[in-house]
């Protein structure tokens, strides 16, 4: 199914392909795919050298497709971060996330399939099935190898991956330890065409500051509440403006939940949790917007929004992602 790989070379940090990329300017797309919670967004942030995609320990943190743009004098790599492909979940938002992840296969130059070292699940198998027969090169990124002191313990797992994934090569990495990232960039460049930049040099993403603001607030929501975070929670920006006289951003954001009981969970006792979310979000927003920020957060019940196609579209969960 997949071409034979040198497993010993892989564990040693090498690859079965050693050709050097062209030195002429290269530009192209690399889709980062995989099941939920394997570290896709963390990997992309590390490859970009800055935080762009939000992260948390909660599965399905990423809900949208995001382009992260890495530009040098020699090349421009556009990493496409995607929601985790998952089984189950019958709501409209689950369908949206899977559809968004699947769309990343189209018009990219290379696919980076992220798996967790030592753990192969039915969801990994489902992603591998979708890769069968495609012509786009596939590079498997085996993340979290720092969990294994004896790398030989990974041989059985490598055999499973080799039997199930139609791939061109496999790279062992640790996003947490920042190891193997240079190998990823080097491998990606082998597949990028020689052409001029697609995005201006100053661009780091195709998303707006307004969109990134909502994502930062949603990240703080997920991190502050941990396991208690309602799955049916999202963020809508009501006001997003810069006052030149005060030299300050004024942002009003709604945290939307689906049930009345969830509202109190988000607010916390005497408002402590929503206050903490605001403090943490404001710190990141000052860096994102490069200026002072006045942030107000409110919680509102919007029943069944995650299973309502119209509500999803109004909140930016649609195929037109210029939000």
Q: What is the pLDDT of residues 190-224, one digit of tens each?
A: 999 999 999 999 899 988 899 889 989 988 988 88
* Position 117 pLDDT exceeds 70: yes
* Position 144 pLDDT exceeds 90: yes
Maximum CA extent, the chain: 64
Same domain? For 113 and 221 the reply is: no
Higher per-residue pLDDT: 283 or 60:
283
Same domain? For 84 and 227 the reply is: no
- Is the residue at 16 inside a domain? yes
Answer yes or no: are the C-beta atoms of 43 and 33 closer than 8 Å.
Answer: no
Helix, strand counts (H, E) of the chain: 10, 9
Does the reported pTM lie above 0.95? no
Same domain? For 134 and 58 the reply is: yes
CATH of the domain at 233: 3.30.300.20
> Can you list the positions of beta strands (E) in 144-233?
169-172
- Burial bucket for residue 101 (CB in 10 Å: 0-12, 13-18, 19+): buried
What pLDDT does residue 118 have?
A: 94
Same domain? For 176 and 56 the reply is: yes
Same domain? For 110 and 254 the reply is: no
Same domain? For 176 and 264 the reply is: no
- Is the residue at 195 inside a domain? no
Q: From the CB of residue 212, how many other CB atoms can be counted at a distance below 10 Å?
A: 21
Same domain? For 168 and 26 the reply is: yes
CATH of the domain at 20: 3.40.50.300
Q: What is the pLDDT of residues 4-56, one digit of tens each?
A: 566 666 666 555 555 554 448 999 999 998 888 888 888 988 999 888 776 65
Same domain? For 177 and 53 the reply is: yes
Same domain? For 267 and 136 the reply is: no
Residue 137: domain span? 7-189
Cα–Cα distance between 28 and 296 in angstroms, integer? 39
- Is the residue at 156 inside a domain? yes
Banded model confidence at residue 318, pLDDT cuts 50, 70, 90: low
Give the number of domains in the chain.
2
What pLDDT does residue 65 have?
A: 73
Q: What is the pLDDT of residues 172-190, one digit of tens each?
A: 999 999 999 999 999 999 9
Q: What is the pLDDT of residues 63-101, one digit of tens each?
A: 567 889 999 999 999 998 877 564 455 555 555 555 555
């Amino acid at each position: 199914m997949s071409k034979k790989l040198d497993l010993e070379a892989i564990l040693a940090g090498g690859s079965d392909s050693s050709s050097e990329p062209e030195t002429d300017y290269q530009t192209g797309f690399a889709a980062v795919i995989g099941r939920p919670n394997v570290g896709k967004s963390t990997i992309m942030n590390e490859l970009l050298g800055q935080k762009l995609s939000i992260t948390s320990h909660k599965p399905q943190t990423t809900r949208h497709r995001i382009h992260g743009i890495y530009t040098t004098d020699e090349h421009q790599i556009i990493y496409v971060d995607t929601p985790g492909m998952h089984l189950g979940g019958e709501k409209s938002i689950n369908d949206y996330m899977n559809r968004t992840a699947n769309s990343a296969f189209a018009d990219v130059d290379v696919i980076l399939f992220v798996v967790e070292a030592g753990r192969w699940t039915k969801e990994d198998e489902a992603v591998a099935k979708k890769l069968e027969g495609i012509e786009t090169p596939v590079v498997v990124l085996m993340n979290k190898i720092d969990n294994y002191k004896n790398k030989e313990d990974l041989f059985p797992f490598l055999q499973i991956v080799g039997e199930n994934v139609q791939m061109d090569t496999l790279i062992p990495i640790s996003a947490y330890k920042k190891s193997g990232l240079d190998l990823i960039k080097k491998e990606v460049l082998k597949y990028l065409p020689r052409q001029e930049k697609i995005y201006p040099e100053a661009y780091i993403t195709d998303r707006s500051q307004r969109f990134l603001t909502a994502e930062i607030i949603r990240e703080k929501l997920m991190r502050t509440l941990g396991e208690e975070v309602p799955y049916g929670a999202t963020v809508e920006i009501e006001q997003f403006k810069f006052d030149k006289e005060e030299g300050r951003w004024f942002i009003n954001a709604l945290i939307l939940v689906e049930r009345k009981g969830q509202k109190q969970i988000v607010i916390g006792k005497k408002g402590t949790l929503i206050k903490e979310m605001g403090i943490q979000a404001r710190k990141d927003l000052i860096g994102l917007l490069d200026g002072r920020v006045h942030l107000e957060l409110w919680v509102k019940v919007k029943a069944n929004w995650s299973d309502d196609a119209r509500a999803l579209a109004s909140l930016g969960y649609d195929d037109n992602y210029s939000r």
